[in-house]
Amino acid sequence: MGLTLYKAGPSPFVRKVMVTLHETGLLAQTDLVDAVANPVAPDPALIAINPAGKIPALVREDGPALYDSRVITRYLDVRAGTSLYPEARIWEVLTLEASADAIMDAAVLMVYEAKFRPEPIAPWMEGQWTKISNGLDALESRWMSHLNGPHDAAQIAVGVALGYLDFRHPQRAWRVGRPALAAWAEVYLQRPAMQATIPQG
């Protein structure tokens, strides 16, 4: 028996796990199941796996289901015996991954606000974008040496976050004023695992 990944739509958190499945060689061992992750009407089948009703969620044969993308990607890395979370740089990797996840969180909340509220609250939307902009500025000013170093889970998370901004918020033009990050993304987003997981819809 292999793994079963519950996923939904173009979620960046699902994409992060999908990229990790490609990078670890575990995709062939994983069944992919589409679930409904509507924040106002979650899928009962998904709640049975993850009480929060959120995706991604991973069912495994050797223990309880796993959820939260950072938990799943670390499990996949251990299972595959790859080095996406190298012990020598573990705190930097985890911090940079958390920074990328924060960008994704804010970007997804902006999508939800526009989709589920008849009249989105403009100051709240701009507050979310400020979080994203601050995170991008930190990547540009503090993290480029790491991003240009050996491949790890943090780079996957950053690549997925930037790809999601291109997908859902292209009008925000995140590359402006961030030439180093833009140049890195131009190369990283061509990576086979990134190309194989480009969001649709």
pLDDT at 1 over 60: no
Amino acid at 26: L
Q: Please tell me the least confidently modeled range out of 60-64, 78-82, 106-110.
A: 60-64
Q: What is the CATH number of domain 3-80?
A: 3.40.30.10
Helix/strand/coil (H, E, C) string of 19-74? HHHHHHCCHHHEEEEECCCCCCCCCHHHHCCCCCCCCCEEECCCCCCEECHHHHHH
Backbone angles phi and psi of 195, in degrees to 5: -65, -35
Q: List pLDDT tens digits, range 152-193.
A: 999 999 999 999 999 999 999 999 999 999 999 999 999 999
Q: Give CA–CA dist 97/200, Å, rounded.
A: 23
DSSP label of 3: E
pTM of the complete model beyond 0.75: yes
Domain ranges in the chain are 3-80, 87-191
State the fold for domain 87-191: Glutathione S-transferase Yfyf (Class Pi); Chain A, domain 2 (1.20.1050)
How many alpha carbons lie under 13 Å from residue 181 in its C-beta half-sphere? 23
Q: Give CA–CA dist 69/75, Å, rounded.
A: 10
Say which residue the tokens 């140049």 belong to. 183
